[in-house]
Amino acid sequence: MSKNICVVGLGYIGLPTAVMFANHGYQVHGVDINEKAVSMIQNKQLHIEENGLQERLITAVDNGKFTASTTPVEADIYIIAVPSPINSDKTANLDYVRAATKSIVPFVKPGNLVILESTVPPRTVEDVMMPVLEETGLKFGEELFISHSPERVIPGRVFEELVNNDRIVGGIDEKSSQMTKELYETFVKGTIHITDATTAEMVKVIENTYRDVNIAFANELAKISDKVGVNAWEAIKLANYHPRVNIHLPGPGVGGHCIAVDPWFLVELQPDLAKMINLARTTNDSMPQYTAEKTKKILDEKQIGHGRVAIFGLAFKSNIDDMRESPSVDVVKNLEKLGLDYTAYDPHIKENKLPTQTQEMEEAVNHADIILILTDHNEFKTLDPKTVASKVRTKMIFDTKNCIDREVWEAAGFEVKVLGDSKNGIQA
């Protein structure tokens, strides 16, 4: 194995992918425009949190198999794994994909394979990447091979899922697909399914849109349950015992680089047809405001006029440091609009991202009237209420993730409220 790989984008997907290939025999060079991130990687330090990444990075660098810089180099294979966020008007921002593709043009040579891993709207390979790659002067399918193979992993379990999950490969032609399939067979144990590039793009967007619609359904059930005296969590659990039912769980909103973003790609492409998708997105985007208003209502019911909120959790998902599209940020904005004082704490976010964020849990709960759990980190699930009981001003907790042991907290004198559970007294 003598082929070299250049990975453009060293974030939550690109870096794990790069070290994975480096530790499976390839010579890999990683590229990122973030100079601080590159410097940290060069010194075997992480700028992101992912289980198993630190030791794999150290191995790759120490073995001389992985290097990093801010500019691409000549390689046999280019993997583009850059963000594809949405603009303020909910349209796809493909500037990073376009810029990353353009950055490799001077280095691409005959026989190269270019793979896009970023999650993108259908036709991005054909309408965005290929026009840029035409600048190489190479003939597609004969001198230059191109494909889309979207990542299919979840933060916190990236390496396990890189290996075991099935993978979709969509080339612009059969040879592009086969070259890509052979590359990922280096470590993928799941089945690799071959299709065309546009279908592969569509598949990834479909997967995340399905989950978004399912979560929106769960959030609607939570709102209804708040009205009618039901515990939505209990009802969903019992409904899921049906062999053909699999309802997701409600929460304060949907975050992350995929589920909160990708459905908008379909809405943008076909707004007149994507009505259910649009409604689901709107429903999930409304949950931070609903959560903030519910928090204020709880305080109002206790006649606490200017309550202080201790926010637990800023990451969009448990046990990671990723705040991309996190609903917690929107909850904070809505709390501010409602005039509520707050302090935010997240044990996984090591640098303060908000003006009122603290690195000390004791500071967050000091004189708090309510603890608002927005992320179900293990640290919160296992937290002994006695450690915060003497710090808070009012023993009250609003758990939007249904992650704490209610009996334990109630035994410590806390009044526990749970999103979507009016069975125990939290009604709209």
The predicted-structure confidence for 185-200, as pLDDT tens digits, reads as follows 999 999 999 999 999 9
Burial class (CB in 10 A: 0-12, 13-18, 19+), 396: buried
| Residue-range domain boundaries for the chain | 4-196, 232-428
Given a cut of 90, whether residue 134 has pLDDT beyond it is yes
CA–CA dist 43, 58 (Å, integer): 9
| CB neighbourhood size of 28 (10 A) | 25
With beta carbons less than 8 A apart as the criterion, state whether 218 and 250 touch.
yes
Which amino acids are annotated catalytic?
Answer: 204, 258
Going by C-alpha positions, the residue among 135, 123, 142 that lies closest to residue 198 is 123
Asked whether the CA dihedral 328, 333, 334, 340 is positive or negative, the reply is positive
Name the average pLDDT for the chain. 95
CA–CA dist 327, 57 (Å, integer): 30
Asked, colleague to colleague, whether 4-196 and 232-428 share their fold, the answer is yes
Going by C-alpha positions, the residue among 290, 297, 316, 281 that lies closest to residue 222 is 290
CATH architecture, domain 232-428: 3-Layer(aba) Sandwich (3.40)
Q: How confident is the model at residue 427 (pLDDT cuts 50, 70, 90)?
A: very low
Given a cut of 80, whether residue 420 has pLDDT beyond it is yes
Residue type, 116: L
Q: Which residue has the tokens 């009122």?
A: 356
pLDDT, position 424: 63
Residue type, 37: A
Going by C-alpha positions, the residue among 289, 293, 277 that lies closest to residue 216 is 277
pLDDT, position 428: 43
Q: Which DSSP category does 136 fall into?
A: G
| CB neighbourhood size of 290 (10 A) | 21
Q: How confident is the model at residue 212 (pLDDT cuts 50, 70, 90)?
A: very high
Which tokens belong to 71? 């500019």
CATH architecture, domain 4-196: 3-Layer(aba) Sandwich (3.40)
Three-state secondary-structure class, residue 55:
helix
CA–CA dist 280, 215 (Å, integer): 8
Mean pLDDT calculated for residue range 316-344: 95
**pTM, to two decimals:** 0.92
pLDDT, position 76: 98
What percent of the chain has a predicted confidence (pLDDT) above 70?
98
Per-residue pLDDT tens over the stretch 64-91: 999 999 999 999 999 999 999 999 999 9
pLDDT, position 402: 97
pLDDT, position 2: 60
pLDDT, position 155: 86
